[in-house]
Chain A
Amino acid sequence: MVTKKKAAKKAGGIQAKLKFNPEWIKDPVPPFFKNLDRLAIRELAAAKRDFAARVKDILARGQR
């Protein structure tokens, strides 16, 4: 087994084109679509509340 330190060194030596990139798999469904266990739903709801708060903030600033 390669040690963690050695692996980190190798990862650093890997050119950008060949770096590990799990983000590319967005097919057939993007990750958030699968994020529907209850924990993820709670996180999604929190993100939406955050979004709503920012919308309200923008509107409030606009009104000033």
Chain B
Amino acid sequence: MRQSVPLRIFQGPSESGRARDTSRPVMLIGFQNQGNLGLGYLSSVLRQYGYSVHVVDIEQEPEKILQIALELNPVLIGFSLIFQFYIDRYALLVYLLRANGINCHFTMGGHFPSLSYQQTLELVPELDSVVRFEGETTLVELVDAVSTGQNWRDIHGLVYQDGEQVVATPARALVEDLDQLPYPERNYEPVEVLGRSIMPILASRGCARTCSFCSIHTFYRAAPGKIVRTRKPAEVVKEMRLLHEERGITIFLFQDDDFPLFGKTWRQWAGEFVDELHRSGLPEKVIWKMNCRADAVDRELFIRMRDAGLYLVYMGLESGSEQGLETLHKQITVEQNLRAVNILKSIGLMWEYGFMLLDPSSTFVSVRENLNFLRTILADGCLPVTFCRMLPYDGTPIKDELVRTGRLRGDVCNPDYDFLDPRLSDFYEGLTNVVSLKGWIHGLEAVTLQLGTAWHEVAIIERLFPALPGMQDYVKTLRRITMTSNELLLGVVEDLSYVYSDGRENHLDPEAIEKSREQILEDLITERDDFIYQHQETLLDALQLGALPNLVEEPAIVTASA
């Protein structure tokens, strides 16, 4: 289904003396998870200049992608690489396409290709070029040149191989005014939860912070121009209103690197955004989620945002150890993390978090500090435990430091490092053996994802459906199940840490743990389906009527914890 929003005129490439031949389409290949706003923006800009664009999901069968390319006969194929550990998959696909006679221009963009362009050209030698940094203008100029047989090697923002040499043209400045961009193409059916449609959206680009494990700030700082750019609040709200009215979207997921909240200027931006939402009448019709740092959580502002439809806050807490936060260069304290969590709980806002149990500075002491932190913030069973191990990606300061100290291991697809205490590697290996991390934390069948989904449903029901009798009891039940799961997992991790640090005997029984996990999942699904089944008619009626949200002062998420 195409979105019938009007395109604006993006003042991208200079029009003087430019020629273009739009008779052949452009093919873009990338991940389609989360709607992929990056590909959406590239598509809409190319369309604005008259090109037809065909977006293909990299996760399709390679035979299917080849078939599409053969049928389309594109003038250019752009590969969007978001996750560096998939570069060999891209390399194979590029090789397959070339070997089967696809001779058009191949280019690649994304964080990894922008920052590690030499490596990209080495790993994917069939590429003609790499587009660095934000690609909207560069890609149009490149397609213009290629489509008309003009020289493309002078275009700014490109890298290419010239014999033995890698040539980088001057870097292209970041898009100064994001409101000049047309709305991203959203040429797909939205995901639905409980019959409510979801769509990603962007209010800003860039991140001013300097976390050591993240390449986002490196990406933006390496390009000329202002690092953080915000759209006008009125423009963001206009896009939301159009998506709500034309496509029935009721849940918006802001995908900003760091939602504009921090400091005087962005707090003012957030205030204007809230005011604009109220002027539009949207808070009675839609809800939204955003990502931010814990130090941006402010009680007064978040109450205002909650009342303007904010229903979910994702925070990268990352560590419950001061040493870990310092290593990750979060420039935040454990106390600030705790304060943010407490504020969100006290005002009834659902939240999620990112957390790294292990990082290159980890010790058994910091691991236990992290476990205690998780116990503290999740004591009321408000959310399931989640954690991961920090991995050193290209373009991150921490990877450079690991290289400098000789601790970097693995390769571009499987980056890894040595812990300072080698027993931690054994502990992590042991953890993956005793507890299937895939079954508890990662993947579709994982307890964390399943419990998280149930909690999301609660937040959505509370905000977008009429009040349901028995909701408080259901929330209490969910908390009980979540607490059981959290206590078990955190206990296992802690016990295992003592096995490896102090040589305690390992009494953990993987089979028993797995049985408990299965029981937790069974209880969850049973209770969830029972509750939804009981209220099915009310929920379906609300969907048919397009019912207004059930805004409450203190949602059950909070009140049930008391």
Contact = CB atoms under 8 A, between A and B. Distances in A.
Contacts of A4: 522, 526
Instruction: Please give me the 6 A-B residue pairs with the lowest Cβ-Cβ distance, nearest first.
Output: A7-B526, A17-B195, A10-B533, A30-B33, A37-B437, A22-B453
A64 interface: no
Given A24-B191, A28-B314, A7 B449 contact: no
A31 B193 contact: no
A46 interface: no
28 contacts: A1-B526, A2-B527, A2-B530, A3-B526, A4-B526, A11-B533, A13-B536, A17-B192, A18-B194, A20-B450, A20-B454, A24-B456, A27-B34, A27-B255, A28-B354, A30-B31, A30-B34, A34-B442, A37-B441, A40-B438, A40-B442, A41-B414, A48-B89, A51-B62, A55-B62, A55-B96, A59-B96, A62-B100
B514 to A, nearest CB: 14
Contact of A34 (B95, B388, B450, B539): B388
Nearest to A31: B443
Contacts of B287: none
Most buried by A among B389, B526, B529, B530: B529
Given A18-B540, A36-B388, A24 B444 contact: no
B437 A52 contact: no
Nearest to B386: A34
Interface stretch (B329-337, B428-436, B495-503): B428-436
A21 B413 CA distance: 30
Contact count band on A: 35 or more
B126 to A, nearest CB: 13
Interface string A29-64: 011111111111101110010011011001100100
Contacts of A41: 414
A17 B437 CA distance: 30
B167 to A, nearest CB: 29
B391 interface: yes
Nearest to B437: A37
A22 B99 contact: no
A2 B290 CA distance: 36
A57 to B, nearest CB: 10
Contacts of B429: 38
A25 B314 CA distance: 12
B204 to A, nearest CB: 15
A58 B63 contact: yes
B453 A20 contact: yes
B365 interface: no
B227 interface: no
B85 interface: yes
B92 A18 contact: no
A31 B100 CA distance: 32
B528 interface: yes
Contacts of A28: 255, 291, 314, 354
Interface of A: 1-4, 6-7, 10-11, 13-15, 17-18, 20-28, 30-41, 43-45, 48, 51-52, 54-55, 58-59, 62
B89 A14 contact: no
B388 A54 contact: no
Contacts of B438: 35, 37, 39-40, 43
B88 interface: yes
Interface of B: 31, 33-34, 61-63, 66, 83, 85, 88-89, 92-93, 95-96, 99-100, 191-195, 198, 200, 253, 255, 289, 291, 314, 354, 388-389, 391, 413-414, 428-429, 432, 436-438, 441-444, 449-450, 452-454, 456, 522-523, 525-530, 532-533, 536, 539-540, 543
B355 to A, nearest CB: 11
Contacts of A38: 428-429, 432
B291 A20 contact: no
A31 B194 contact: no
A2 B33 CA distance: 35
Given A20-B532, A28-B314, A55-B62, 9 more contacts: A2-B527, A7-B530, A20-B528, A22-B444, A22-B452, A26-B191, A32-B83, A45-B414, A58-B96
Given A18-B195, A38-B428, A59 B62 contact: no
A25 B34 contact: no
A14 to B, nearest CB: 6
Contacts of A51: 62, 89, 92
A39 B432 contact: yes
B450 A22 contact: yes
B34 A26 contact: yes
Contacts of A30: 31, 33-34
Nearest to A35: B442
Given A1-B523, A45-B414, A11 B34 contact: no
A7 B525 contact: yes
Contacts of B454: 20
Nearest to A36: B391
A35 B61 CA distance: 21
Contacts of A45: 413-414
Most buried by A among B92, B255, B429: B92
B389 A37 contact: yes
Contacts of B453: 20-22, 24-25
B253 A27 contact: yes
